[in-house]
Amino acid sequence: MNAIFRSCLVTPAAKTSMLENAARSAADLVIVDLEDGVSWDRKDAARRLAAEASSNPVWSTRPLAVRINQPGTGLALKDLTEIVRAAGPHLDLVVVPKVTSPRDVWWVDTTLTELEAAAGANHRIGLQVLVEDVAAMHALTEIARCSTRIRSLAFGPGDFSASMGVDLVAAGNDHPDLYPGDVWHSIRTAISVAAHTAGVAAVDGAYAAITDTAGYRRECTWSRTIGFSGKWAIHPNQVAVANDVYSPTAEAIAAAERMLTAFEAATAAGLGAAAHEGNLIDAATIRTARATLTIAGRLGLRPGASPAHLTEGSH
């Protein structure tokens, strides 16, 4: 994973002004949607709009993703062909919806390889794979490992609810009288485990109650706690919350630095563990501290570090 996307702002390819506003947002990644956010009679128009917008120079300085239509619908090939041809080096990621097996990913991977070759592309487009159907659960790790293009697994709670017959009211996690805690805890955990097993990022899905900032923050916190590094935003107001929750705090960074200093001193003294601020620290805890510092560095939160947008693999 070469860049950290804390906030993935999804905007339908409906109006040029919407895409321009998304490009000017503070989101780490903008996802132009050709799928669920676009009605069937507007697919061709949306594809053309996305293709035109992707040539805007603004995308030379920030990451761009496009969510294509589901492979097998007769729309995905057109999506890929037109967007890759138009976007060129500006396209960082293709979001693949409703993946249920590795073959869905393989088809997109192979198609992109041919389109990149035809376009003489000098960069390789990555993939974000959407887990939106219970049918994907039996092969999550296989899916996560099936292509070197994959940068992240993302959870799609809306369609997943439909595939399991879950009441959308309960699925929103805003009614503890219907279900206490997180309805999707086991699913989120499985996605996180599969993603980390494959060495890719885990990204949490959309939160529909766009005016409920507290609810959105709660779900960001839940998913961050179990290993997710970002979340979809379907409204600009959600972006700042995601960027905040998925970033290490100044206190966490300072604590990690102190821990690393203490451990290095213990190691120099020939010790494999040491007492530090009331806790025992060893190689396992230091892995967590180093991970925190790595993320902080890639987000530009440590002196001399570069923001994630400028790390290897981005424009």
Which pLDDT score, from 0 to 100, does residue 277 have? 84
Instruction: Work out whether the CA dihedral 312, 197, 153, 141 comes out positive or negative.
Output: positive
Say which CATH topology domain 7-245 has.
TIM Barrel (3.20.20)
Contact call for residues 153 and 136 (beta carbons, < 8 A): no
Q: What is the mean pLDDT of residues 204-221?
A: 95
Q: Where are the domains of the chain?
A: 7-245, 250-298
Position with higher pLDDT, 303 vs 19: 19
Query: 278-297: per-residue pLDDT in tens?
Result: 888 888 888 888 888 888 88
Which pLDDT score, from 0 to 100, does residue 304 have? 52
Q: Is 64 helix (H, G, I), strand (E, B) or coil?
A: strand
Q: Which amino acid is at 85?
A: R
Residue 314 has pLDDT above 80, yes or no: no
Q: Is 225 helix (H, G, I), strand (E, B) or coil?
A: helix
Distance between CA atoms of 309 and 81, rounded to whole angstroms?
26
Which pLDDT score, from 0 to 100, does residue 2 have? 56
pTM over 0.75: yes
Position with higher pLDDT, 131 vs 267: 131
Which pLDDT score, from 0 to 100, does residue 309 have? 42
Q: What is the mean pLDDT of residues 108-124?
A: 91
CA triple 50-313-17, angle to 5 deg = 25
Report the DSSP pairing between strands 64-67 and 93-96.
parallel
Residue 61 has pLDDT above 90, yes or no: no
Q: Is 315 helix (H, G, I), strand (E, B) or coil?
A: coil
Which pLDDT score, from 0 to 100, does residue 303 have? 60
Q: How confident is the model at residue 3 (pLDDT cuts 50, 70, 90)?
A: confident
Which pLDDT score, from 0 to 100, does residue 313 have? 39
Mean pLDDT of the chain: 89
Distance between CA atoms of 93 and 21, rounded to whole angstroms?
19
Nearest CA-CA partner of 132 in 173, 97, 91: 97
Residue 215 has pLDDT above 50, yes or no: yes
Which pLDDT score, from 0 to 100, does residue 287 have? 86
Q: Is 152 helix (H, G, I), strand (E, B) or coil?
A: strand
Residue 52 has pLDDT above 70, yes or no: yes
Helices (H) and strands (E) in the chain, counts: 12, 10
Query: 173-200: per-residue pLDDT in tens?
Result: 888 888 888 999 999 999 999 999 999 9
Two tokens, residue 127: 């993939």
Position with higher pLDDT, 19 vs 56: 19
Tell me how far apart the terminal alpha carbons of the chain are, to the nearest angstrom: 14
Query: 79-90: per-residue pLDDT in tens?
Result: 999 999 888 788
Q: What is the mean pLDDT of residues 242-254?
A: 90
Position with higher pLDDT, 207 vs 273: 207
